[in-house]
Every structure is written in C-alpha cells, then in structure tokens.
Amino acid sequence: MSLPADHPTGVSDNLLRLPVRVQRFNLQCAAIYLGISPLRLRVMGWFGAGPVPSEGRLFRTDDLDSYIAHLYETADISAEEMQRRRQARADQRSAALMALTQPDARSRYLPPPGDPFMTLATRNDIMSQSVFIVLKALALFGLIMLCLSISPLLKTSF
C-alpha cells in the first residue's frame, strides 16, 4: 500500500479530533485550587472580582489558571517564580481536592492549603472593587441629596 504524497504519515482526512475536556470545579474546589478560602472566593464573586464562573457556579481550570497568571503578572513576578510557587503547594492542593471529591475521605478534616501570595493578591482585588462600589454609592447619594435638597441657588434665581 502506497501512501499519498500529501499525507506522509498515512493519516486520513476523516479523522475525528475531539476538543480537550476542561475540568470544572465547584466553589469549594476552585477556592482550594486557588489557595484561598471558599468565603473569600464567594466575597470576590459578590464584588465582581476574581475569576468568573463559566456555567452556573462552576469554574473552569483554564479561567482559574489565567486569573492566577494575571495576579502574578500584576505583582510583577516572573512565570518561572509562579510555577515554582505553584509546584511547592501542588501536593497539599491535590490532597485537599482528593479529600473533597472522594466520599470516604470527606469525614477527615483536611484544611485547605492557604497560599499567602494569593491571599494578599485577592485581598487587593477585593479592596479595589469595594472602593469602586463605595465611590459609586457616594456619587449616587450625592445626586439624591442634590435632587431632594432645597438649594440656595434656586431661591436667588427665581
């Protein structure tokens, strides 16, 4: 059997290529994957900071990884240092994720691995978003006060 010239390996055109299956985490697993507490991830969702859930309340690992890379890039930490830090906590993170996914291991208490950098970086995200929300609320309050109050300029003009 001779192979066609345009297919040197003999791979046919009717080969079906499936997309890579992306792993999805619930809120608690996503928080462990990020290295923060589930409450912090929930608060970040309330303020509109942090990774965005893709389907309902499920977080894709691609989105979580891009959020982690964004935080390290914002802090001006190199990709090599980011990989080193993530690898240092990989065993703790995978053990905590396994404890959540296996029903027999749920009875054991296994604290989620806390990453100090992620705690500081996400706190910065929460604070910047909360300042933005407070400024919007103050602007709205000021507009309401302008509309409801009797201004001295109105008395002198009419």
pTM, two decimal places: 0.70
> Is 45 domain-assigned?
yes
Give the range among 31-40, 79-88, 105-114 with minimum mean pLDDT.
Answer: 105-114
In a domain? residue 152: no
Contact 54, 64 (CB under 8 A): no
pLDDT exceeds 70 at position 141: yes
Residue 95 lies in a domain: yes
pLDDT at 123 over 70: yes
Domain, as residue range, for 119: 24-129
Task: State percent of the chain over pLDDT 70.
Answer: 73
Domain annotation covers residue 143:
no
Cα separation, 83 vs 77, whole angstroms: 10
- Let me know if residue 37 belongs to a domain: yes
The residue ranges of DSSP E strands in the chain, in sequence order, are 24-25, 59-60
The pLDDT, as a whole number, for residue 77 is 87
Query: How many CB atoms are located within 10 Å of the residue 81 CB?
Result: 12
- Count of the separate structural domains present in the chain: 1
In a domain, 64, yes or no: yes
DSSP string, 99-132: HHHSGGGTTS--PPPP-HHHHHHHHHHHHHHHHH
Asked whether residue 36 is domain-assigned, the answer is yes
Q: What is the pLDDT of residue 12?
A: 58
Task: Confirm whether 138 is domain-assigned.
Answer: no
What is the enclosing helix (H) or strand (E) of 147? helix 116-148
pLDDT of residue 86: 84
